[in-house]
Chains A and B, each alone.
Chain A
Amino acid sequence: MKIRSSVFASLCLIFEIFGIALFLRGFFPVPVKSSFSSKSKLSDLPAEPLTGNSPNSSKVPASLFRRVVIVVIDALREDFVFGPKGQQYMPYTRNLVERGSSLSFVAKARPPTVTMPRIKALTTGSIPGFIDVVMNLNSPALLEDNIIWQAKAAGKRIIFYGDDTWVRLFPKHFMEYDGTTSFFVSDYTEVDNNVTRHLDSTLKRDDWDILILHYLGLDHIGHLSGPHSSLVGPKLLEMDHILKRIHASLISRETEGSLPNLLVLCGDHGMSETGSHGGSSEPEISTPMVLISPAFRRKAGMETPSTVEQVDLVPTLALGLGLPISQNSVGRLIQPVFQGTSLRDQLRFLHLNGFQLSCLLKDSMPAFEKEEGYEQFRVAEKSHGSWMKLYLEGNTSEVLSNMGRKVLKQYLEALQAMSAALSRQLGKYDMYSMVVGMVLVLQVLLLLLIAMPEALSNSAEVELPLASALLSLPFYLLCLLCCSVHVLVCTSAEASCYLCGLSWGLVLVATAFSCGLLCMLLSLANQKMSPGSRPAGKSSGDSCFSELDILLLIGTVGHVISLGSSSFIEEEHQTWYFLLNTLCLAVFQDVCRKYFRERRGTGDEGSYLPSKEGPPASLSPAGELSVGAGSEKWLALATPLLTLACCRVLRSLNQTGVQWAHLPDLGHWLNSQEHKAELSLLAAASLVLMFFLVQRRCSLVSKIALALGLLGVYSYRAAVGNVLFPWQPKEGRDLSKGTVEARFVYIFVLGILFTGAKDLLRSQVISADVRLKSRGLWEVYSGVVLLCALLLRPHNLPVLACCLLIQTVMAQFIWKELQYDAAQTTIMHYWFGQAFFYFQGNSNNIATVDISAGFVGLESYVEIPAVFLTAFSTYAGPLLWACHLVCYLTSEHHRSAASLGHGCYCFALLRSIPVVAYILLITALRYHLFIWSVFSPKLLYEAMHMLVTTIVCVFFTAMDQNHTSRS
């Protein structure tokens, strides 16, 4: 079967997507969960361990606190309370911490330090799987056993004010609630006022038991201007004041004889030095946890807070409120909280916590009996029983209390061991799915590589021996073998494999497919190996690589190798910037060689220059920058230098990565309040430049639409409050969501895309005109540019403008003039795309994804558009360069009809190599220390990039199809 290389590349990419999806399914562990779908019940609680029989043995623990107020301050870092900032801005809280009856801890949040997984951890006590981050955008109701549900089931009345993630997670759980969206990161007063306005009336009332407040303002300030911003101080003061109000009210309503109240102050996660969160750096995972209640003894002075896990709050609160601990909690109770109770009660609480953990352990680990913690728990339970016996006999001697303390210690050790064992359990992988996915991806990559000579030949067609592979005996034997392996694996291992849960028909189809691929691969390899049967269209007879080729090769290979190091993943942008610079210098050298050798006029290089120059004017698209022949040389020389300068400016626009992320960058400078005028000017200039660069190749209608669209972009930014609008009252205008303006732009985007699609269709169906097709492509491209301009933050508009500028000059003076072939041009486009991905402020950390792009022009959260827009704006750089590649190669069609196919093939190969290498690497490094903080986010980025590339390649194929069906 003969197929074109573009079709071949797209098919390969699509299959790779399946392989990657399977790998991801196996790689990201499903969080530890007990298999019971029910929730813990009070009646299920075990009796107090006792050797003999006793009447009051199955006593349900009594509640320790009457009312609980939980104040969650988003992104409250540990040093905001315990550090110098706390001393300065949170005087009341500090006073309570130092001298009040309170308990302070540093609670460690597990990565991913993103709000929703953290809320889940704070309520269920489980450690959410990494994949929960991806699901952070849409948070469906929490079905797992959790403390909110338990409290509601026990008849507690809960009131909630704050981040509406809670409302989505716990619908119908709250007696009263008011959720505020974290819609605009630039808003850090309104979100908090929406919470505080309910405070006075609520505190006066008596009809609630639990009050939860979640303040978002601090997090927004962090995202806006970092932890050292001047806005942090006032915000902390405000929070301190709120705590004072709550505490004063709780104290005033404290009555003699009734149970004490509890006030909990905690953060869901910390804040890195740049103000973002999501990773696992120390400032991101360290949050303060302050428990304030008259039940605790007064402090004499500041003590260094001890460290606990964030999830430890769940069993502590549950037992403190007399509720069962939720099933999946891996936390251990915070012992000092129960210090004031009798020894018997303390042991009882520890026993309950231990029992819950041991149940979870039994459920999630087949070999639980070998676990050290389980053993310890059994021993502790026994000695607890004998202690109880002595106690009930009325023994009150010193021996009893000593023994009791020993039991307590045993329990604490058992809890620690069991908790650690459960956390370890998180690192389990579904190796079967991973291996199958890996094999699939590897096969596709080998197929791509083996077909390289044919795919890059002049005909750009690949001969796939599909029929012979499918009809051969080895194929059936392989199928049989794979099926038996599948049966073997699924019957031997526990049913934790994803593949084993699939239906048989699906597995059979997949097996047949994979085996067919392998057979095809083998027969292709066999063809290549046997001499004499070389394909005729092999073009790379002269194996003379230029310096540029060597650089492109070394760069690609070197980048792949660098993925093995966590530092290079964190600082991947440096790799790309470095390679891009070297590329520009190599191009510069090529230009110099071309223009300066020309002057010497030696014979052997004569073929290098003239005659071919100047493509037929009729074919070159309208609107090339018109330049004289003399200045062309100097412009060509200046182009790489201009590119270098642009790249240098852009790299200081957004400081990304980890090591140097704290350094000040232009983006922060522009975003600060006092430089609004500069930002407005820069944004406006970029938009104008973009208009002039893009409009040259479009039809008149599109030109007008583009101009209006770009104007709409500016007015959208002005409406949201990012930039200034010249004729607009400075004061007294309220920020809107800018929905109208954004939708106005969307209309133009759709309009331009529609015009482009219409041209493309017409060129295919009716007139078969290359110019029409080229114009259609450019229109699609300008639609994409307009959408990018809308979604990117205003300080990133120069990135977009520079991108267009570099594309224009490089296309005209370098790629065309120096006659780089499709493969070289594609690799350069890919490199530029990668560098621009980082120029726009992305990194390999989940925290840098700009989620606000998903809300542009939407009144409320709508899942599908939000995900699409976020993905689009994140991959704007690579996408724009890929689009430009399609346009460029199409407009260059006259040179080689196969160039589009070559480009598509190279693009697919360039993406496949790092992905496959990375999948192999991450499998090998799956027990690496940084696997969850560094390698996994990168894997998600790679998978997402693969998806984007596949879409682009399918577009490529469609364009290629049009051409060949025409000619």
Chain B
Amino acid sequence: MRDLEIKGMVSAHAIIASSIFVATVMPLFFVDNFSIYGTHLTWLYSVSGSVSVVNITVFWLLGISPPTKKHTLSYKVSRAVRSCLYFILSCLLFHAVVVLYGAPLLESALETFSLAVLLSSLTTLRCLCVLGPSVQAWIRVFSREGAMSVWDTSLQITTACSVIGAWLGAFPIPLDWDRPWQVWPISCSLGATFGFLTGLVIAPAWIHWHPEVLGRSPG
């Protein structure tokens, strides 16, 4: 059972990771002068879009999403609307946090918001896919020892890795090297993406080597 789950997770993560690479390479054929530094925002949107689409598809196909009690259309619609709302809220929240960290308030607000969108699609969107728009479940998963399934653990790890990646990505900004990737928000978004990729790799490995973690679920 566990091995099967881990295998499924590995393949899902592989698909998500490859979607990021595809999103980095594909625009080369469609956009003129595309480069990660030069047209950073395009790259950023491309990555967050593809990650969102692939995430939703994969989790829908795997059927990980929490079981819905009712199967009526209206219930599904309201869930979708709530999810969208949560996503937007999380974008705003990330934006606010980034501004609190010292990003300029007005100038380059678009860049800051784009970073917030990327972070949301790397973290919140996966939560929405796995847990649904339920605050209670989110709080449970992100409390200590709150994971109840391998997917919860994976969620914890990838989210933490993305956020830490963005956090670490801010460090090179004050250096006076004048490199193209020191421009706001390139280092942070690259950091978040690399963190996410690392999380995708670490999560199955962690679960594989720590089988006891799930046995301790509270309640």
Known: A597-B143, A602-B218, A604-B218. A648 touches B100 (CB 8 A): yes
Surface stretch bound by A, among B35-43, B167-175, B191-199: B167-175
* Interface 0/1 of A787-819, CB less than 8 Å to B: 000000000000000000000000000000000
Closest residue of chain B to A562 (Cβ to Cβ) is: B171
* Interface 0/1 of A650-661, CB less than 8 Å to B: 011000011100
Surface stretch bound by B, among A205-213, A289-297, A533-541, A575-583: A575-583
Interchain CB contact under 8 A, B102 and A648: yes
Closest residue of chain B to A658 (Cβ to Cβ) is: B176
A residues 527-576 near B (Cβ < 8 Å) are 565-568, 570-571, 574-575
Q: How far is the CA of A596 from the CA of B144 in the complex (A)?
A: 12
The bracket for how many chain A residues form the interface is: 20 to 34
Closest residue of chain A to B218 (Cβ to Cβ) is: A602
B94 to chain A, nearest CB (A): 12
Q: How far is the CA of A604 from the CA of B218 in the complex (A)?
A: 8
Q: How far is the CA of A568 from the CA of B219 in the complex (A)?
A: 47
Interchain CB contact under 8 A, A567 and B101: no
* Interface 0/1 of B78-112, CB less than 8 Å to A: 00000000000000000001011110010000000
Known: A593-B143, A602-B218. A571 touches B174 (CB 8 A): yes
B134 to chain A, nearest CB (A): 13
Q: How far is the CA of A644 from the CA of B100 in the complex (A)?
A: 7
Quick check: is B139 within 8 A (CB to CB) of the other chain?
A: yes
Quick check: is A436 within 8 A (CB to CB) of the other chain?
A: no
Known: A565-B175, A574-B174, A596-B139. A648 touches B99 (CB 8 A): yes
B217 to chain A, nearest CB (A): 11
B46 to chain A, nearest CB (A): 29
A residues 570-615 near B (Cβ < 8 Å) are 570-571, 574-575, 577-578, 581-582, 585, 592-593, 596-597, 600, 602, 604
Quick check: is A647 within 8 A (CB to CB) of the other chain?
A: yes
Residues of B within 8 Å of A477, CB to CB, are none
B interface residues, tally (CB under 8 Å): 19
Interchain CB contact under 8 A, A585 and B174: no
A280 to chain B, nearest CB (A): 14
Q: How far is the CA of A658 from the CA of B177 in the complex (A)?
A: 14
Q: How far is the CA of A575 from the CA of B171 in the complex (A)?
A: 8
B residues 105-148 near A (Cβ < 8 Å) are 105, 139-140, 143-144
Q: Give the contacting residue for B167; candidates A565, A574, A582, A644; CB below 8 A.
A: A582
Q: Give the contacting residue for A585; candidates B97, B173, B176; CB below 8 A.
A: B97
Quick check: is A645 within 8 A (CB to CB) of the other chain?
A: yes
Interchain CB contact under 8 A, B174 and A645: no
Interchain CB contact under 8 A, B176 and A651: no
Q: Give the contacting residue for B175; candidates A567, A593, A602; CB below 8 A.
A: A567
Total A-B pairs, Cβ < 8 A: 47
Closest residue of chain B to A547 (Cβ to Cβ) is: B144
Known: A596-B139, A602-B218. A581 touches B100 (CB 8 A): yes
Interchain CB contact under 8 A, A568 and B174: yes
A residues 651-686 near B (Cβ < 8 Å) are 651-652, 657-659
Residues of B within 8 Å of A652, CB to CB, are 105
- Considering residues B174, B175, B177, which has the most beta carbons from chain A within 10 angstroms of its beta carbon? B174
Interchain CB contact under 8 A, B175 and A568: yes
Residues of A within 8 Å of B100, CB to CB, are 581, 644-645, 647-648
Interchain CB contact under 8 A, A659 and B143: no
Q: How far is the CA of A568 from the CA of B144 in the complex (A)?
A: 34
B61 to chain A, nearest CB (A): 32
Residues of A within 8 Å of B97, CB to CB, are 585
Known: A582-B167, A593-B143. A567 touches B102 (CB 8 A): no
Q: Give the contacting residue for A567; candidates B105, B140, B174, B218; CB below 8 A.
A: B174
* Interface 0/1 of A336-371, CB less than 8 Å to B: 000000000000000000000000000000000000
* Interface 0/1 of B156-198, CB less than 8 Å to A: 0000000000010010011111000000000000000000000
B6 to chain A, nearest CB (A): 26
Interchain CB contact under 8 A, A593 and B102: no
Q: How far is the CA of A651 from the CA of B175 in the complex (A)?
A: 19
Q: Give the contacting residue for A574; candidates B102, B144, B218, B219; CB below 8 A.
A: B102
Residues of B within 8 Å of A567, CB to CB, are 174-177
B95 to chain A, nearest CB (A): 13
Residues of A within 8 Å of B102, CB to CB, are 574, 577-578, 581, 648, 651
Q: How far is the CA of A568 from the CA of B218 in the complex (A)?
A: 44
Known: A567-B176, A571-B174, A602-B218. A581 touches B143 (CB 8 A): no
- Considering residues B99, B100, B144, B170, which has the most beta carbons from chain A within 10 angstroms of its beta carbon? B100
B45 to chain A, nearest CB (A): 27
Interchain CB contact under 8 A, A578 and B144: no
Residues of B within 8 Å of A657, CB to CB, are 174
Residues of A within 8 Å of B176, CB to CB, are 566-567, 570, 658-659
B100 to chain A, nearest CB (A): 5
Residues of A within 8 Å of B174, CB to CB, are 567-568, 570-571, 574-575, 657, 659
Q: How far is the CA of A648 from the CA of B96 in the complex (A)?
A: 11
Q: How far is the CA of A842 from the CA of B210 in the complex (A)?
A: 48
Interchain CB contact under 8 A, A578 and B139: no
Q: How far is the CA of A658 from the CA of B175 in the complex (A)?
A: 11
Q: How far is the CA of A593 from the CA of B142 in the complex (A)?
A: 9
B101 to chain A, nearest CB (A): 5
* Interface 0/1 of B1-25, CB less than 8 Å to A: 0000000000000000000000000
Q: How far is the CA of A16 from the CA of B105 in the complex (A)?
A: 43
Interchain CB contact under 8 A, B144 and A602: no
Q: How far is the CA of A585 from the CA of B96 in the complex (A)?
A: 12
Residues of B within 8 Å of A651, CB to CB, are 102
Residues of B within 8 Å of A604, CB to CB, are 218
Q: How far is the CA of A636 from the CA of B176 in the complex (A)?
A: 39
Residues of B within 8 Å of A644, CB to CB, are 100
Q: How far is the CA of A52 from the CA of B173 in the complex (A)?
A: 69
Q: Give the contacting residue for A578; candidates B99, B170, B218; CB below 8 A.
A: B170
Residues of A within 8 Å of B105, CB to CB, are 652
Q: How far is the CA of A315 from the CA of B88 in the complex (A)?
A: 71
A179 to chain B, nearest CB (A): 41
B residues 29-55 near A (Cβ < 8 Å) are none
B205 to chain A, nearest CB (A): 21
A576 to chain B, nearest CB (A): 11
A residues 627-656 near B (Cβ < 8 Å) are 644-645, 647-648, 651-652
Residues of B within 8 Å of A597, CB to CB, are 143
13 A/B residue pairs, CB under 8 Å, sorted by A: A565-B175, A567-B177, A568-B174, A570-B174, A570-B176, A577-B102, A581-B102, A585-B97, A593-B144, A596-B139, A602-B218, A648-B100, A648-B102
Given A574-B102, A578-B102, 19 more contacts at CB 8 Å?
A566-B176, A567-B174, A567-B175, A567-B177, A568-B174, A568-B175, A577-B102, A581-B100, A581-B101, A592-B139, A593-B143, A597-B143, A600-B140, A602-B219, A644-B100, A648-B100, A651-B102, A652-B105, A658-B176
List the 7 shortest-distance A-B pairs measured between CB atoms, nearest first.
A571-B174, A567-B175, A567-B176, A644-B100, A574-B174, A648-B100, A581-B101
